[in-house]
Amino acid sequence: MVETRDIDYNRIILAFLIATLFFSIGILLGYIVRMTLQENTITLQDKLKNDILDFETISLMQLTYPCNALILDRSSEKLDSIGNMITVLESKKGKYDSVVLELKKSYSILELRHFLLIKDRNEKCSNNYTAILYFYSNLKECKDSVDKVSFILSYLRNKESNIRVYSFDMNLDSDIISIFKKEYGLDGCYGVILNGKKIPGLIGDSSYLEQFIK
């Protein structure tokens, strides 16, 4: 004779309620995290827009106060801040997010304006800044070489106070990028333009670039 066991419905109901509770907590935590990230992203985007306006205003002051060192310092700090915020936003929303790409287009315009400001100061204010235009690709197969060159350029910029590096996403759908690519024959994973001239060959270390700066 087969022995039968009584089904403990209380335990089944309790297990079901516990599982439901944990499932609900998981959904709630996911919602809170998602909303927090969304709120932080919106705040970051608003700050970016304000900083872009600040940068444009500071740049216009150059027309009234040429060769003013404070104006250049403030515009440089603002440009760096905007670049860092876009990097953070890119890490949150992804490299191909439409908002990120549009902000990078605006940032490219700001970089070009700052580059022209540096060039103008070298000519009119007896400054001696070295301007490096760095074009990089976000394609997966380019990651290793782009990371390496980015590290080298960051090292040089931190080493020499008179070096400015302007980074441009080579894959952006932008008239500015298109003009530069055609002007300097840019293709592949990256391209480096130093004081108006394209650096030939592959960049292996900082000393390779330093010989062109000197």
The contacts of residue 50 (CB under 8 Å, 6+ apart) are none
Average pLDDT over residues 183-193: 90
- pLDDT bucket at 1, cuts 50 / 70 / 90: very low
pLDDT value of position 37: 45
Query: Does the pLDDT at position 196 exceed 50?
Result: yes
Any idea where the domains of the chain sit in the sequence?
A: 9-127, 128-214
Distance CA 191, CA 185 (A): 9
Q: For all residues of the chain together, what is the average pLDDT?
A: 78
Please state the φ and ψ torsions of residue 10, each to the nearest 5 degrees.
-65, -45
Average pLDDT over residues 155-167: 89
Query: Does the pLDDT at position 61 exceed 80?
Result: no
- pLDDT tens sequence across 16-25: 666 666 566 5
The CATH topology of domain 128-214 is: Glutaredoxin (3.40.30)
pLDDT value of position 41: 54
Distance CA 155, CA 3 (A): 78
Q: Do domains 9-127 and 128-214 have the same CATH topology?
A: no
CATH 3.30.70 corresponds to the domain 9-127: no
pLDDT value of position 32: 43
DSSP letter string, 184-206:
HT--SSEEEEETTEEPPS---SH
Average pLDDT over residues 112-128: 85
pLDDT value of position 45: 62
